[in-house]
Structure 1
């Protein structure tokens, strides 16, 4: 059985031809042709997620793992707008989503018809293309729709960004047919590999060989094995230091992966001694505010950025001198060829290695003395307990920042976080989407505000039994007390923070989750020892740190390192 709407039949055939099979649908009426067609089609894996905001992030979690487009579809009106947070995240994180929104006929908009808004181009700057299809089922109308769908879906694939396909549907919506009535043409694009003429980068080649202090800084980036392999080789060059973050997805013995542990309290005079001559950046958003501050305030001589698909120059540190719009792997191959001749006189990497050893020594010394049941101690215990070769999803705000200070076991755990726009609104939904597509255990570590804000994510029939959530409940979040450099009146902080007395226990009962709670060191240790064992339901461990001065303890730790 198929929808009788030819436009939907064509969409199904085109998606199948391009190997796009995951469809997340939110219930509604105007999107009935889409629901009927795809839920009856054996080639597609369909999911029903009621809340459109959760549905968008759920799809993002799947696409984040498979690195292929995922379709999200909803009814008309306000339902469409609820996709916007997930769309902005997918746009800036470079994750391909295909929005297929049902709309009402154009002529009835603004005549007081229910669930009708201006949906055409509603996502504007946050999709790479937005197309308005037609209900015309003549030969020319079908040709036009097929062309637009092919073009937009190909852009989604090639640019790894979200697209929007808006489809108007007139009554009747529920008519079906037993036979497909269309044979849409399939247009494919041929990917072209990057190529740079040698003479184009002779000056850069000379600069790279000349200077003795080079820093490669990786932000959020989904790297391939070849890129990681080349970076490891480059890391033995004494004139190069490679800084990575947990979102960089690269690991190497000579990499520096805990940036804030190294530089959080570094004063400008110290930085002048450590700052690079050449800064080479790959990927997007850097989590460390301190490295951004230092590189902006005391910039390198040269800043090169490598990366595809940027419409505007990514001049993060206000010192961009060269932009290479090519695949980072291709760039690194070029420069590795003439980086084999190391600069023996450089001691740049040794300086950073010496600093790293000092910080690790102080780190260990601090934890021998500090035994409070605080966010810092609790999270370090949790990070150590996460099973090897599993998937870790991290909440935004303080959780991801704490993980940046942790340097053990990262090589064996793949970690993810929504750092495109860095919002808290879809952390739980993204993690659940990720868990549905992975065979490995997926663990989400999340703060209380992020969890409660996105608790509708648990209204979901697809959560695997081995999915785990560790909820750090400190009674309202501490990030603003940590990042603020001003001593503001306590009354003002009530508007920055969200103080509460909530617990996740009743939410877990409502959704039939296994629930555990820990509010002291011994209980936490016992809970973690068996938390990842097989169960017949997903589990949540709530860790209560409300009684600790979490922001003061973290500042004490960072001060101790300096």
Structure 2
């Protein structure tokens, strides 16, 4: 029997099984041990193939593809530390619900723990972070193909969100022409090869339960907190809240249009918290809240009931409120719980929000990152999408900006790391083919600099806007020790990104005024490729602007 041929047939069954669970995108890193999986994926016409030389970036590319497509995405890597590099993306997917299928090639058992090259203990290496794990045996004709396909179906069929880790050991030889080895084993699956259904079907649907006392609660004084959700859900929720007459505090990732903008500013005002204290029920839709003041209010509010609605399972409430944890997508829940038209019960919040917005707008002509966050809606591409980095960038946009309702906004706010942000944004665009504005800080861009290779071929105009405040200025907002702040927290690198853009063949601009930025953006949206725009700002101006505005609004 040809080992290389049977390895390929074994891998072919695995990859074909994935197609029955909606996998269309496959992300592949170079490697020898993964050859059976790579060639099986290459031969399957159902797949769209993506490649990257950096496994950490590859995992985040897959994460972005899954975010935008709402479909499971497969990743193929070789053995050894290549596998370990998938850990950050796997963790993020587990917290935010994207479905990843990690196919990790491995050495066979006899090469583990004996000094063999590139051989590590891979089964179970991701601990509790995968939603499902499957350690496959070495390919063998003594194991029926129906066992292999049903094992894959069982792992994916029960997947509600997060990653599946499928470890795939292969013995050498890995290369060679295909022969008849294992053909009968493969054909034993019969007409499964001609249809498009899983061998083993395991329905995994979350049913939305109607709350029978909703008609009672909708007549009360309620507050709505909106976290991460889809653009269509955000628009629906904003309309639903308006009908109810309940105030909606929308996170930047809620895509609700933030009808009461600058919540992270006016929540620091005692008039706001005193009025909100009259709420009898709080409904939170979606998790992963960004604003510090919103999180502080959420932690201390004490309504009669606190309901949290999200399609992810688990508690999702770090403040452990008394109430109800309802697992449902937002749209389905709203359809089952209609709003009854009522007059708004809050009078102070709209005034405070408008006053806060005026204070922010008064500074919009200054060239800086806080003002960019306020103006960001002016720079969004038509029919496009926004990807926000972590740290100071997303906090400033959340506190000082207002994104139109229903405009798609993406981010990695599960573990909120700065690793893989450029790769994730590349994946988001590849899945949607929309014009994309990605906005990150300088350290985030440096962390994932390899991902500029992914931007050399983009399906639509892509602008990477790097806000260069020379280090991790988020730490300027924290009580870090002043004497150690620069060396051990901010870590300024004193670099610019023109050489990086040139190395990867990307257009580059470094505007020094709003007019120059607008000209650069106007040109970028008219060309099919990617453009890197670097906004060099004074180091601490953004953080100081936020703190000044917080102080002003708190005294209104």
Q: CA deviation at 1:234?
A: 3.7
Q: CA deviation at 1:176?
A: 4.1
SS at match of 1:4: helix
Which deviates the most, 322-331 or 160-169?
322-331
Q: CA deviation at 1:382?
A: 4.8
Rounded Cα–Cα distance in structure 1 between residues aligned with 2:542 and 2:169? 52
Alignment check: 8 A CA contact 1:3 1:36 kept: no
Rounded Cα–Cα distance in structure 2 between residues aligned with 1:428 and 1:531? 18
Name the residue aligned to 2:220.
Answer: 211
Q: CA deviation at 1:223?
A: 6.0
Name the residue aligned to 1:466.
Answer: 461
Name the residue aligned to 1:351.
Answer: 348
Q: CA deviation at 1:138?
A: 3.1
Which deviates the most, 124-133 or 435-444?
435-444
Rounded Cα–Cα distance in structure 2 between residues aligned with 1:230 and 1:399? 25
Closer, same or farther: CA 502–301 of 1 in aligned 2, 3 Å = same
Alignment check: 8 A CA contact 1:388 1:412 kept: no
Query: 2:101 aligned to 95, 98, 102, which one?
Result: 98
Closer, same or farther: CA 515–551 of 1 in aligned 2, 3 Å = same
Alignment check: 8 A CA contact 1:279 1:300 kept: yes
Closer, same or farther: CA 192–174 of 1 in aligned 2, 3 Å = same
Name the residue aligned to 1:174.
Answer: 175
Deviations 1:268-310 (A, max 9, x none): x651332332111121210012111122234323211123441
Query: 1:37 aligned to 40, 63, 68, which one?
Result: 40
Deviations 1:118-159 (A, max 9, x none): 111222322111001122423544333222111112233xx1
Q: CA deviation at 1:422?
A: 0.8
Rounded Cα–Cα distance in structure 2 between residues aligned with 1:527 and 1:548? 25
Rounded Cα–Cα distance in structure 2 between residues aligned with 1:257 and 1:92? 27
Name the residue aligned to 1:453.
Answer: 447
Residue 429, structure 1, aligned to residue 423, structure 2: yes
SS at match of 1:450: helix
Which deviates the most, 427-436 or 214-223?
214-223
Name the residue aligned to 1:22.
Answer: 25
Name the residue aligned to 1:274.
Answer: 276
Q: CA deviation at 1:204?
A: 6.0
Name the residue aligned to 1:256.
Answer: 260
SS at match of 2:165: strand
Alignment check: 8 A CA contact 1:22 1:70 kept: yes
Alignment check: 8 A CA contact 2:262 2:357 kept: no
Residue 418, structure 1, aligned to residue 406, structure 2: no
TM-score between the two structures when normalised by the length of structure 1: 0.88
TM-score between the two structures when normalised by the length of structure 2: 0.89
Rounded Cα–Cα distance in structure 1 between residues aligned with 2:60 and 2:335? 35
Which deviates the most, 325-334 or 423-432?
325-334
Name the residue aligned to 2:195.
Answer: none
Closer, same or farther: CA 17–516 of 1 in aligned 2, 3 Å = same
Deviations 1:344-398 (A, max 9, x none): 6xx523332232222233333344xxx4432212444454222222111111111
Residue 190, structure 1, aligned to residue 203, structure 2: yes
Name the residue aligned to 1:244.
Answer: 250
Q: CA deviation at 1:449?
A: 0.3
Q: CA deviation at 1:178?
A: 6.6
Alignment check: 8 A CA contact 1:217 1:282 kept: yes
Name the residue aligned to 1:222.
Answer: 230
Alignment check: 8 A CA contact 1:305 1:320 kept: no
Alignment check: 8 A CA contact 2:218 2:244 kept: no
Which deviates the most, 508-517 or 138-147?
138-147
Closer, same or farther: CA 257–163 of 1 in aligned 2, 3 Å = farther
SS at match of 2:437: strand
Closer, same or farther: CA 402–494 of 1 in aligned 2, 3 Å = same
Residue 531, structure 1, aligned to residue 524, structure 2: yes
Closer, same or farther: CA 283–421 of 1 in aligned 2, 3 Å = same
Rounded Cα–Cα distance in structure 1 between residues aligned with 2:51 and 2:5? 18
Rounded Cα–Cα distance in structure 1 between residues aligned with 2:298 and 2:389? 26
Structure 1 segments unaligned to the other structure (5+ residues): none
Which deviates the most, 438-447 or 518-527?
518-527
SS at match of 1:348: coil
Which deviates the most, 403-412 or 423-432?
403-412
Alignment check: 8 A CA contact 1:366 1:560 kept: no
Residue 318, structure 1, aligned to residue 320, structure 2: yes
Rounded Cα–Cα distance in structure 2 between residues aligned with 1:75 and 1:230? 44
SS at match of 2:443: helix
Rounded Cα–Cα distance in structure 1 between residues aligned with 2:127 and 2:29? 22
* CA RMSD in angstroms, aligned pairs only: 2.6
Rounded Cα–Cα distance in structure 1 between residues aligned with 2:266 and 2:507? 39
Query: 1:111 aligned to 110, 114, 117, which one?
Result: 114
Rounded Cα–Cα distance in structure 1 between residues aligned with 2:77 and 2:206? 36
Query: 2:141 aligned to 138, 142, 145, which one?
Result: 138
Q: CA deviation at 1:82?
A: 0.2
Alignment check: 8 A CA contact 1:135 1:141 kept: no
Closer, same or farther: CA 324–438 of 1 in aligned 2, 3 Å = closer
Deviations 1:493-541 (A, max 9, x none): 4211121111111111111111111234554344344332215x42111
Query: 1:88 aligned to 75, 83, 91, which one?
Result: 91
Name the residue aligned to 2:72.
Answer: 69
Closer, same or farther: CA 251–498 of 1 in aligned 2, 3 Å = same
Closer, same or farther: CA 376–434 of 1 in aligned 2, 3 Å = same
Deviations 1:472-502 (A, max 9, x none): 11111311112x1x37323334211121111
SS at match of 1:428: helix
- The count of residues paired between Structure 1 and Structure 2 equals 536
